[in-house]
A = this chain, B = another copy of it.
Amino acid sequence: MDKLIPNITPATPSTNYHHGNLREALLAASVDIIRNKGIQGLSLRNLAEVVGVSRTAPYHHFKDKDALLAAVAEQGFLEMSAFFHKVIENPEIPLMQKLKQALTDYVQFAVAHPEQYELMFGRDMWQEENHDAFQRTAKDCFRQYVQLFELFKEEGLLEESENPLRLAQIMWATLHGLAKLACDGIFGKQDDLDDIIQYAMSRFEGTINRPK
């Protein structure tokens, strides 16, 4: 009927019966749609139309709609892992600065892409056994984050009694809580947020940065 938008990332532009890299195109478009119109705003049929293929084409690359969403969530964790890695490996900045940067980046990502963030930590992704690849990369991301706290331990900046894993966990919990409350619009828009983060950070500094 309508041959609209046939040219979104056609790897082999000669013929477009076989799209070439449909999987990538679908993923990119999905991320785009979700970030703009929200999770609810993404339907497989609409997505297919946007990319320029038929309704059922995506099923050859993703088992389910759920599988697609899992892939989008995974992409989010990849992005997060990337900027964690970038901060951790940088020898220029001191440890405390690294942590501060990582935490700030984290919240910034969440607030910038609330819908994708919701997906990443959504109930559906973690309850099921299916989304295996997703869970692996998510855990890799967490491991990188924990590494930061282990560095503190190694440098003796933590009390003996402090368990770096546990510390990382409740710090993540706080961060996650803040991020969610913030980007779900429960904290009054934006003004408060920065102040609250600053407050939380200073409380943390007071506790952790205490050489024995």
A residues with a Cβ closer than 8 A to B are 40, 114-115, 118, 121-124, 126-127, 163, 166, 169-170, 172-178, 180-181, 183-187, 192, 195-196, 199-200, 203, 207
- In the complex, what residue of chain B is closest to A177 when comparing beta carbons? B177
CB of B184 within 8 A of CB of A126, answer yes
- In the complex, what residue of chain B is closest to A142 when comparing beta carbons? B186
CB of A172 within 8 A of CB of B181, answer yes
Which residues of chain B are within 8 angstroms of A40 by Cβ–Cβ distance? 124
Q: How near does chain B come to A139, taking the closest CB pair, in angstroms?
A: 10
A8 to B100, CA, bound (A): 56
A88 to B166, CA, bound (A): 30
- In the complex, what residue of chain B is closest to A192 when comparing beta carbons? B169
